[in-house]
Amino acid sequence: MHASKTNDRGQTWTLGHHDRFVRSWLAPAASAASHQPPIVMGVVHGLGDHSGRFDEAGRWLAGRGIHVYAYDQCGHGKTPGRRMRIPSYETLLQDIDSFLLRLRELHPDASVGFLGVSMGGNLVLNHQLRGYSPMDWVVAASPMLRAVNPPGPIQLTLLRLLSHLAPDRLLDKPIDPADLTRDPQKQRAFLDDPLVQQQISLRLGRDLIDSGQWLIEHAGELATPTLIPHGDADVITCHRASIEFSENSHGRASVQIWPGGAHDLHQDIQREEYLQSILDWINATST
């Protein structure tokens, strides 16, 4: 996949009272002018991930007129602080809100929406359903609504107990890169990436389970136009839960199932077709 040369850079932004590392891929003026209104995308990455792994997607979208901004979440990537130590689930939602408001300040006339992937998909959906600032549209890709292999009742009870006793205790969560993408080059890049984390705290594990179930139960309250792309070969997050959310949303969320697609669709072998489908949907939604 070839991407146009665009203006990409990294810098630290203060979101609320906290510093977050931000990358941006800004569309050339001629390309950006092709969209009326202008389109701005904020990106929220998944568990253990970071904004740098969206470089190819950011360049591709910027080359087609979309301004793209992605930040490293608390405890992730190049954002300052202890690795994978996240004070609360609400901290993650508040960061999204601060990031959204900053993007609206930078681009007051734009259509501003978010792409959230995996845990990021869970977060952007919860952000929209829990009374934070409205987005113009949402793409929740492979969202963490329910795991393909969720913990059983005994494991869940134990998790709830331990998460109260030692909420910041980290558990190893090794990931097989073949579960993320079918592209061998992308698999090697994942293994060689020093910023990738493969751990999760007891608190965050509990909160992701609870917030994912809450989303499915409250999908009917969704007001934001939403696209949910999901690969049916995803062995991490359950694509059937995405279908269930869409069915419960009374038409506000459209699910898009990718046959054979792995978890990270923006890194998978069909990524150009996937990004084009997102771009087409955003264009249709923003006009």
140-199 residue pLDDT tens: 999 999 999 999 999 999 999 999 999 999 999 999 999 999 999 999 999 999 999 999
Mean local confidence (pLDDT), 100-104:
98
Is residue 255 within a helix (H) or strand (E), and if so which, with residue range?
Answer: strand 253-258
Question: Could you tell me the residue range of the domain that residue 14 belongs to?
Answer: 7-286
pLDDT at res. 2: 35
Q: Phi first, then psi: what are they for 129, rounded to 5°?
A: -95, -10
Asked whether residue 1 is domain-assigned, the answer is: no
Asked whether residue 104 is domain-assigned, the answer is: yes
pLDDT at res. 35: 82
Q: Flag whether pLDDT at 280 surpasses 50.
A: yes
pLDDT at res. 189: 98
Contact 26, 6 (CB under 8 A): yes
Q: Is 187 helix (H, G, I), strand (E, B) or coil?
A: helix
Asked whether residue 159 is domain-assigned, the answer is: yes
- Residue 126 amino acid letter: N
* pTM reported for the whole predicted model: 0.94
How many domains is the chain built from? Answer: 1
Asked whether residue 92 is domain-assigned, the answer is: yes
- Round to whole Å and give the CA distance between 187 and 99: 30
Of 287 and 231, more confident? 231
Residue 227 CA: distances (Å) to CA of 6, 115, 178, 258, 278:
26, 9, 25, 13, 8
- Round to whole Å and give the CA distance between 162 and 134: 35
The DSSP code sequence of 167-179 is TT-EEE----GGG
Asked whether residue 2 is domain-assigned, the answer is: no
Contact 132, 93 (CB under 8 A): yes
Look-up: residue for tokens 């751990």? Answer: 199
Asked whether residue 128 is domain-assigned, the answer is: yes
The tens digit of pLDDT for each residue in 253-262 reads 999 999 999 9
Q: Is 14 helix (H, G, I), strand (E, B) or coil?
A: strand
Asked whether residue 233 is domain-assigned, the answer is: yes
Asked whether residue 189 is domain-assigned, the answer is: yes
Q: Is 269 helix (H, G, I), strand (E, B) or coil?
A: coil
- Round to whole Å and give the CA distance between 124 and 114: 7
CATH number at residue 233: 3.40.50.1820
